[in-house]
């Protein structure tokens, strides 16, 4: 396992909420990152689809990892926007994110979230946001 | 307990993900809705703050309930945008949402998310989004 | 005319695009700012409503002035989101903006845009965005 | 000149505001659309860059045309979000937009805005938004 993947896995695992939901780094290569989340019952809303908040969690997190590839590990999501496009059904969700533009202290990133089953992947949400480098760990 | 509050509590409790996180309707009056989430360890990121995805879940959900007050119960969040403004520390999070504009099939809503401890509440995020009425339960 | 109003008017007038469209500072008090734009033919789209781009210009500009009240005059809009809620008809548009949260280097602001005629004002759009302090005048 | 291009040019020219600014359809092929705007003095802010409102106008308009390719000509932009990433300098701006997802009544579209000079194009802003089909020409 390469170093970046190892580091990203450790970083994700250090988030209690990501462990609680069961998210995993599926891929990271310095340009793109993919975070996978097996879609179990607890992550759904009342109609059997993944809860929108699960999708927004995944998008937020994948955007942050994407920004971190450009800005270094001390980053946080300053803001993002998400459009939901389809109900999310399947066995897992996958959020794929990358950097659109990176300056010294901020990066603008995009993320597509897919619902995957044995046969296919379908886009279920798309997001765009700003990742900020932080000096310390405190948001200002 | 009034009827709207009763209905909203049932609706929130029917979402497996909201039960999993522990969210509760704190207030709903036809104009404003407040959803509370006790901030336990599992909801945090690596620095001890509430995970951004928890805040975005809360905002998404409060926006949906706000839209539902205007459009009826068969609604979903079509899209939203969130700005994080402070690290969220405290004993609970509270998301307060209301309707800015409602048409026949869509409502534009706003939500402020606060971190609460014994003494005060501080704004930690603010969101704006579109809630859509759905004919059936399937997103188109 | 007070000093802040004088300064804001000069600042708006120093923008060729704002002069080209005809925007004017209607009010500024350190907390809220209102920018007015008489709605003439050139600002419309094909159906006789104000063009969405005119509303987004107004929102962008009012957000920047709001952020400037908190962060000082060397600011720019880093990003914003706008929801259009009604067709904009009337004799003028008015964008009212204020600060939701201000840190040292960034402020999160909100803006409502109204269409005004002789008798009333109606909300036509609502926006939320991030204003950033700049060291120099160059975006990074 | 093919039919779609002809129709798009007529549609853009029917917008008084787009004529006022000088926007032109550069390309449209059913999947992607590009709108060009020569960057003259009247479109700038006080530091000589294109005004943010000009970029947001372009993004809004290109998003609408992109949505129209999927949904038919009777569409409007319901909402969008834009991140500014660089000061826009050059001889022209070009907004390129496409459809991410289209349902029956709404499409989610993306747009990148570039500043162009004799030698290159640089990304200056990126946007994402929702385009809605309208029955009549009135927003609800």
Model confidence at D140, pLDDT cuts 50, 70, 90, reads very low
Helices (H), A3-120: 3-13, 16-21, 52-71
Q: What are phi and psi of B88, to 5 degrees?
A: -95, 105
CB contact under 8 A, A15 and B80: no
Contact (CB, 8 A) for B93 and B115: yes
Using DSSP's 3-state secondary structure scheme, residue B85 falls into coil
Strands C121-133 and C32-38: unpaired
Domains with residue ranges and CATH for chain D: 3-133 (3.10.129.10)
- Each residue of A73-117: pLDDT tens digit? 999 999 999 999 999 999 999 999 999 999 999 999 999 999 999
CB contact under 8 A, A130 and C106: no
Chain B hits for A76, Cβ within 8 Å? 52, 84
Per-residue pLDDT at B135 = 79
The stretch C63-86 carries a mean pLDDT of 97
Backbone Cα Rg of chain B: 14
Q: What is the number of other CB atoms lying within 10 angstroms of the CB of residue D24?
A: 15
Chain B hits for C124, Cβ within 8 Å? none
Using DSSP's 3-state secondary structure scheme, residue B39 falls into coil
Q: Which residue has the tokens 């998008």?
A: A59
Chain B hits for D104, Cβ within 8 Å? 140
Contact (CB, 8 A) for D118 and D63: no
The rounded distance, in Å, linking the Cα atoms of A13 and A19 is 6
Q: Say what the pTM is.
A: 0.96
CB contact under 8 A, D140 and B106: yes
Interface test with A, best of C100, C139, C140 (most A CBs within 10 A): C140
The stretch B29-55 carries a mean pLDDT of 97
CB contact under 8 A, B139 and A64: no
CB contact under 8 A, A78 and C130: yes
Model confidence at C99, pLDDT cuts 50, 70, 90, reads very high
CB contact under 8 A, D130 and A85: no
Chain A hits for D126, Cβ within 8 Å? 100-101, 108, 110, 128
What the block records as the tokens of C90 is 């009337």
How far C64 CA lies from chain A's nearest CA (Å)?
17
How far B14 CA lies from chain D's nearest CA (Å)?
28
Out of D44, D53, D137, the one facing C56 most closely (by C-beta) is D53
Model confidence at A135, pLDDT cuts 50, 70, 90, reads confident
- Each residue of D84-99: pLDDT tens digit? 999 999 999 999 999 9
Q: What are phi and psi of A121, to 5 degrees?
A: -125, 135
Give residue ranges of B with CB < 8 Å to any D CB. 78-79, 81, 103-106, 108, 130, 139-140
Is 70 exceeded by the pLDDT of residue C139? no
How far A94 CA lies from chain B's nearest CA (Å)?
15
Nearest CA in chain C to D89: C138
Q: Give B2's contacts (C-beta < 8 A, 6+ positions apart).
A: none
Contact (CB, 8 A) for D26 and D100: no
Calculate what percentage of chain A has a pLDDT beyond 70.
96
CB contact under 8 A, C20 and D43: yes
- Each residue of B75-126: pLDDT tens digit? 999 999 999 999 999 999 999 999 999 999 999 999 999 999 999 999 999 9
Model ipTM value: 0.95
Task: Kindly list the partner chains of chain B, i.e. chains with 3 or more CB atom pairs below 8 Å.
Answer: A, C, D
Is 60 exceeded by the pLDDT of residue D139? no
Out of D86, D101, D128, the one facing A128 most closely (by C-beta) is D128
The rounded distance, in Å, linking the Cα atoms of C56 and B125 is 23
User: b/e map of B50-64 (b: 16 or more CB within 10 Å)?
Assistant: bbbbbbbbbbbbbbb
The rounded distance, in Å, linking the Cα atoms of A43 and A27 is 22
CB contact under 8 A, D81 and A81: yes
The residue that leads in pLDDT, C139 or A67, is A67
Contacts 24+ apart (CB under 8 A), C35-41: C35/C61, C35/C62, C35/C65, C35/C94, C35/C95, C35/C97, C36/C92, C36/C93, C36/C94, C37/C92, C37/C93, C37/C94, C37/C95, C38/C91, C38/C92, C39/C88, C39/C89, C39/C90, C39/C91, C39/C92, C39/C93, C39/C115, C41/D16
Contact (CB, 8 A) for B50 and B43: yes
Burial (0-12, 13-18, 19+ Cβ within 10 Å), C132: buried
CB contact under 8 A, A106 and C78: yes
Chain B hits for C100, Cβ within 8 Å? 83, 85, 112, 123, 126
Chain B hits for A137, Cβ within 8 Å? 47, 87
Cα B60–chain centre separation: 5
How far B63 CA lies from chain D's nearest CA (Å)?
16
In chain A the first and final C-alpha atoms are separated, in Å, by 35
């Amino acid at each position: 396992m390469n170093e970046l993947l190892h580091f990203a896995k450790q970083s994700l695992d250090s988030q209690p909420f990501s462990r609680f939901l069961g998210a995993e780094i599926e891929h990271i290569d310095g340009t793109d990152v993919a975070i996978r989340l097996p879609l179990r019952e607890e992550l759904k809303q009342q109609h059997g689809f993944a809860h929108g908040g699960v999708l927004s969690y995944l998008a937020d997190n994948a955007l942050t990892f994407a920004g971190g590839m450009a800005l270094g590990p001390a980053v946080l999501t300053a803001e993002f926007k998400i459009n939901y496009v389809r109900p999310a059904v399947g066995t897992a969700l996958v959020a794929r994110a990358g950097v659109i533009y990176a300056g010294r202290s901020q990066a603008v990133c995009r993320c597509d979230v897919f619902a995957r089953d044995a046969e296919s992947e379908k886009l279920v949400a798309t997001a765009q946001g700003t990742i900020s480098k932080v000096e310390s760990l405190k948001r200002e």
